[in-house]
Amino acid sequence: MAEQRRPIPYLTPRGRWSQYFAGIAVETLYVFALCAAGFVIAVIVMWTLG
Amino acid sequence: MSRRLNRDDHVVVGAYTGKIVVGVGVLMAVPFISSLLLREWDTALDFVIGMSACFIVGFGLQVAFRTKRELSWNTGLVVASGSWLLLTVLGAIPHWLSGHMGSFLDAMFDVMSGYTTTGLYLMQDLDHISYGLNMWRHLLTYAGGQGVVVVALTFLFRGAAGAYTVYVGEGKDERLLPNVVQTARAIWLVSLVWLGVGWVALTGVSLWLGQEPGRAVLHGLWIFMGGWSTGGFAPQSFNTVYYHSIVFEIVTIVVFVAGSFNFALHWAVWSGRRDEIRRNIETMSFAITLTATVALATWALGRAGIYPDAVALFRKAFYQLASGHTTTGFGTIYSRAFVTQWGPVGMLAVTIAMAIGASACSTAGGIKGLRIGVITKTFIHEVRTVLSPPSAVVVERYHHVRDTILEGSVVRSVLLITVAYMTMYGLLTILGMVYGYDASQALFEGVSAASNTGLSCGVTAPSMPGVMKFVYLLAMWLGRLEFMSVFALVGYVVAAVRGR
């Protein structure tokens, strides 16, 4: 039980919030990369089909 | 169940189920308070009745089954699957009392669809339901995405050693942190931080689109909950077509793709290991299969000449495919357009995407990218083995948070679950065809239900045969819990009956 009472590491401060937002930014960039790939496919398909 | 059940097993199952039921009763306080604030007195009363039912059943079970024993592996799985069924019945009370449901089965269908983050619904006159009920619908899917049991683990169990089995039984088998309760809290931390960012972004876009402030805030919250949980519920019957905005679509894509990531991946990226998003077998698998299905759909739609240019084609094709692949169910086309405009090949592309689904240990459903990745690695391993000298030892690795050697036990488990999903997809297709739907529609809708996606081609409706409603409800449950805990529940019931 003593272990349960210790502060949970990820809830302690020390600049973690900036890491969380950086993580969200990285995840968003991944989604934009997927979108870009989808758009390139659409252009190629439309160009191929005339 | 490998051993004879005794009374202690029933007591443990009853006690823990009671705790989870109480947790959902507490959750109902949110729509109850919303109803009070918005002066929806009838709706508030519906939630008082719903909460009362949860507290009577939940505390009643805890009083009747007092124990200090921890869950065993078997009883944990039984609690995970059994509590979902009980919560569906109790959660359906506000739906049923609202007068927007054709029957209690329809109400249960919508609630199971919410918990399992599916998004199919039978609610009638959706555009005119109360704010409180809309809050409940979206909260159901948000909490369900994190796992209803994770909610209880986070707030009620406080480190119970046996809680890990319940957590696994809910289809989340990765520990982000050494303690399962810390893991549950980490999942909630990720979800809540994303909630803050996504809610603000969607509210801002809604305001920019001209919605009045109060409505923009609520729509921003609900669309975030529907997107992040990959549930696909929306406050309007036209779903995200309602907003007619490419900016809104881009923000929702970011939200639901992020929601479909493995929580272990989130945690790795948020802990500074940003390279993980590029190296992880799940994100690689997702990127490849999404690109392939987008290519197939764009080819079919390009040939059909439905959309005038590449931008329009990309906007429609990518959104439906990303929504289907992440098992979200948001749509920017009308349901019947899949049949009347997209045609069999376009529908097949979406069906494949839905069947595969997104990441394990996420809010998403389907076979999962991790399993597709492992199966692909197994093929590569077999080819390399055939091409190598007989004495060579061929080792295949994959990266998922850490480098892992591909082992026979993992492959067996992956193939077993994959076969179970494929079998369920097949049986649901046959059921749809038996009731008169053509094969492509029956396949599309069946896969959508079983993979917890929620895109519809028009089959799911209040007029749908009752048997199909019931079977889809079971399919959503089976698909979300990934079979094993449901099989454990069946074994528990059979053993209990035999033991008498």
B311 CA: distance to closest CA in chain A (Å): 7
Q: B177–A10: do the CB atoms touch at under 8 Å?
A: yes
- Please give the Cα distance from B107 to B86 (Å, whole number): 13
Query: Rounded to 5 degrees, what are φ and ψ at B236?
Result: -115, 150
Q: Which positions ≥6 away from B91 have C-beta within 8 Å?
A: B24, B50, B111, B114, B115, B140
Kindly report the backbone phi and psi dihedral angles of residue B68, in degrees, each rounded to the nearest multiple of 5, phi listed first. -110, 5
**What number of H helices and E strands is found in chain B?**
22, 2
B189 contact partners, CB below 8 Å, separation of at least 6: A10, A11
Q: Which long-range contacts (CB under 8 A, 24 or more apart) does B430-437 make?
A: B431/B467, B431/B468, B431/B471, B432/B459, B432/B468, B435/B465, B435/B467, B435/B468
Of B253, B303, B309, the CB nearest to A31: B253
**Pick from B192, B195, B145: nearest CA to B170:** B145
Angstroms from A15 CA to nearest CA on chain B: 11
The helix/strand/coil state of B102 is coil
Indicate the burial class of B115 (C-beta count within 10 angstroms; 0-12, 13-18, 19 or more): buried
* Contact check, Cβ <8 Å, A10/B310: no
Cβ atoms of B381 and B406 closer than 8 Å: yes
A11 to chain B, any CB pair closer than 8 A? The answer is yes
Q: Number of A to B CB contacts under 8 A, please give it.
A: 103
Q: Are B153 and B167 in contact (CB under 8 A)?
A: yes
Predicted-complex ipTM score = 0.81
pLDDT in tens, B214-241: 999 999 999 999 999 999 999 999 999 9
Interface membership of B443 toward A (CB under 8 Å): no
By the 10 Å C-beta count (0-12 exposed, 13-18 middle, 19+ buried), A7 is classed as exposed
**Beta strands at B402-405 and B397-400: parallel, antiparallel or unpaired:** antiparallel
Residue B81 in contact with residue B485, Cβ under 8 Å? yes
The kind and range of the H/E element at B372 are: helix B369-387
* Chain B contacts in chain A segment 13-42 (CB below 8 A): 19-24, 26-28, 30-32, 34-35, 37-39, 41-42
Q: Which helix (H) or strand (E) holds B191?
A: helix B180-208
Chain A residues with CB under 8 Å of B182 CB are: 8, 10
The answer to whether B299 touches B391, Cβ cutoff 8 Å, is no
Query: SS3 for B397?
Result: strand
Q: Minimal Cα distance from B179: which residue of A?
A: A4
Taken as a whole, chain A contains a residue count of 50
Distance CA B122, CA B126 (A): 9
Find which of B76-90, B159-173, B200-214, B472-486 is predicted with most confidence, using mean pLDDT: B200-214
**B303: chain A residues, CB-CB within 8 Å:** 49
Which residues fall within 8 angstroms of residue B492, CB to CB, at 6 or more apart? B1, B5, B13, B74, B75, B78, B82
Chain A residue nearest residue B304, CA to CA: A49
pLDDT of residue A13: 39
Nearest Cα to Cα of residue B421 among B457, B449, B458: B449
Residue A35: count of CB within 10 angstroms of its CB: 18
Residue that wins the pLDDT comparison between B77 and B85? B85
Per the listing, tokens 């009308």 go with B334
Element (H, E) at B114: helix B104-115
Q: Which pLDDT band, with edges at 50, 70 and 90, does B78 fall under?
A: confident
Residue B25 is predicted with a pLDDT of 93
B194, B290, B291: residue with CB nearest A24: B194
Average pLDDT, chain B: 89
Task: Indicate if the pLDDT at residue B180 is higher than 70.
Answer: no
Residue B4 confidence class, pLDDT cut points 50, 70, 90 = low
pLDDT at residue number A5: 43
**What pLDDT is attached to residue B294?**
93
Q: Which residue has the tokens 């609520």?
A: B218
B241 DSSP assignment: G
The answer to whether residue B186 neighbours chain A at the CB level (below 8 Å) is: yes
B314 contact A CB<8A? yes
Of the residues A1, A4, A6, A10, the best mutation for testing chain B's interface (the one with the most B CB atoms within 10 Å of its CB) is A10
| B313:A10 CB<8 A | no
Instruction: Choose from B294, B320, B359 for mutation: most chain A CBs within 10 A.
Output: B294
- Please tell me the distance in Å from B493's CA to the nearest CA on chain A: 35
